[in-house]
Amino acid sequence: MFDGPPLFVCVLVALGGVALGVSSLRTRRRAESARGWPIVPGRITRSEVYVKRRGQPNEVRLRMEYDYTVDGVAQQGDRATFFHEFQNDRVEALVDRFPVGAEVAVHVDPTNPGNTVLVPGLEGARRSHGLVMGVLVTLAGLILIAVRLMEIRP
């Protein structure tokens, strides 16, 4: 007899995998669509590496802010890429690429001027890790569901 999680937990695992995969696909599509967004000038006001102390190892994060103007309204953005960076060399490369005071091209979502990015597209994406993880978690959940159902029907 399989001594694993209850059936509802197996279903939740499978659904969580589907949600992770869908979220990854949506982010990738949004990142690609940002290539066609209007561009306005901006200026970097904050660009630094910080360490988020949570568990081991500590997570290296990017903290970036920039000012820009859309239709005469001053705005502030904080997204360099659509993908979170946790590797020290990648974070440092972004800080070097966008130093404080640098003039930058800000890609602005035409339907929401508060939604911006400095690096549109898939640059900075770690290939398809989110999608792959979503598929793997979904498969694990489906396998667990199958094992549970075989147990119910001997």
Question: pLDDT, tens digit, for every residue of 110-140?
Answer: 999 999 999 898 665 555 666 677 778 888 8
State whether 84 and 101 are in the same domain.
yes
What is the value of pTM for the model shown?
0.70
State whether 69 and 105 are in the same domain.
yes
Angle at 23 between CA 89 and CA 44, to 5 degrees: 40
State whether 115 and 142 are in the same domain.
no
pLDDT at 74 exceeding the cut of 80:
yes
Q: Which domain holds residue 26?
A: 1-35+124-154
Helices (H), 60-128: 88-97
State whether 77 and 149 are in the same domain.
no
Strands (E), the chain: 39-52, 59-70, 73-77, 103-109, 112-117
State whether 56 and 94 are in the same domain.
yes
Q: From the CA atom positions of the chain, what is the Rg in Å?
A: 21
State whether 106 and 145 are in the same domain.
no
Helix (H, G, I), strand (E, B) or coil at 121: coil
State whether 61 and 79 are in the same domain.
yes
Distance CA 152, CA 43 (A): 62
Question: pLDDT, tens digit, for every residue of 10-62?
Answer: 788 888 888 877 877 787 788 788 889 999 999 999 999 887 766 666 677 78
